[in-house]
Amino acid sequence: LGEFKKLGCPILIGVSRKSFLPGALKDRLEPSLAASFVAAMNGASIIRVHDVAVHKRMFGIIDYVGSRQGRVLEAAAQDPSR
């Protein structure tokens, strides 16, 4: 994705339930979630998925954990005794 990011355009990726993911078709949810996360972390702007609610929940959790981690790190920096 790095090469596409250099073009400066939004990147659309669709990895949901693809055959390159391990597992039988019905067992590809977790690999799809992982591939979507990796794509987002590497610059994908738009992610096409089949299981929208599950992906939305996953990215919401990631955002929450990330924001909490940021607040914890900020607090620790302000009070080194923590």
Catalytic residue IDs: 18, 48
CA 58 to chain centre: 8
39 in Cβ contact with 15 (< 8 Å) = yes
Instruction: Please count the other Cβ atoms lying within 10 Å of the Cβ belonging to residue 11.
Output: 16
**Distance separating alpha carbons of residues 55 and 74, to the nearest angstrom:** 28
